[in-house]
Structure 1
Amino acid sequence: MLKQIGNYLENKWSLRLLTGFYFIAGLNHFINPEFYIPLIPAFFENPEKINILSGIAEIILAIGVFFYPSRKTASYLIIAMLLAFIPSHVYFIQLGSCIEIGLCVPEWIGWFRLLIIHPALLFWAWKSGKSSSVLY
């Protein structure tokens, strides 16, 4: 079953979905910065700049995954970016999975995002980097 999932994550539709996912997420950093900025741990300086850089990185990496010659590098950089986002997930859990005037969910959802969704995104990026599909 894992092999079937892995094969699916390397196909054209999965790559298109990954590209769209990160492109839209990147744009959302500019459209709704008030959603992301409170999620940046307080010990990081200049959360506005971090939010902008994150958005730019997601957009550039989405475009990189779309094109075969840059796909592997872009996929590995998405993995690095996702690993860099882990402190934000931990910070969110430490806040009780609730940001004042923002995102507020049951604490188990914060843990689910960190322990299930985040590793799934890492795996998706890794498998996408192995794809030789041409999307254009």
Structure 2
Amino acid sequence: MPRTPLLVITLFFLTGGIAHFVVADFFMMAMPDYLGYHKEFVLVSGVLEILGAIGILIPQTRLLAGYGLIALIIAVYPANIHMALHPEKYKNLSELFLYIRLPFQFIFVWFVWWAIAPERLENKNING
């Protein structure tokens, strides 16, 4: 049976990944103007979230999936900053929420890192 943190991570990223397809326009609006290929980035990040959500449940892929999800959280951080700096574009979201999300990203990186700790430590012991 998977550990509870792994289920939380799976639910979060599976829901978010599906949302990238269901409400793609919202995610494209969150993209900073200086980036091109908004739709492509949104769809690829949605696929990566879904793959990470599934991969973290599979013991053989858990470590890679965890590292991938951490990298994804870091990669989308500029979009979160963009949203916080331009709250007028997101009238349906409170400005406070947009700013609270910023430190939450660091907490979620730590949460994923912590959730894969048994695999990280086991891999460290195996590799010396």
TM-score range, shorter chain: 0.7 to 0.9
C-alpha distance in 2, partners of 1:49/1:126? 28
Whether the 8 Å contact between 1:73 and 1:129 is mirrored in structure 2 is no
TM-score (norm 2): 0.84
What is the aligned partner in structure 2 of residue 104 from structure 1?
93
How far apart are the structure 1 equivalents of 2:101 and 2:8?
19
Higher relative contact order (CA 8 A, sep 6+): 1
Give the SS at the match of 2:33. coil
Q: Percent identity?
A: 21
* Structure 2: 5+ residue stretches without partners: 120-128
Matched, 1:70 2:61: yes
Aligned to 1:23: 14
* Residues 15-59 of structure 1: per-residue CA shift (max 9 Å, x gap): 112112111110110011122110011111010001100100000
Q: Which runs of 4+ in 1 moved over 4 A?
A: none
Give 1:1-136 correspondences, 5 Å limit.
12-95=3-86, 97-99=87-89, 103-106=92-95, 108-115=96-103, 117-131=104-118
Q: How many residues are treated as equivalent by the alignment?
A: 118
Instruction: Measure the CA separation in 2 of the matches of 1:72 and 1:13.
Output: 16
Cα pair 1:98 1:105 within 8 Å, conserved: no
State whether residues 35 and 103 of structure 1, in contact with CA within 8 Å, keep that contact through their aligned partners in structure 2. no
TM-score, reference length from structure 1: 0.80
CA distance in 2, matches of 1:25, 1:105: 19
Cα root mean square deviation, aligned: 1.6
Question: Secondary structure at the residue paired with 2:36?
Answer: coil
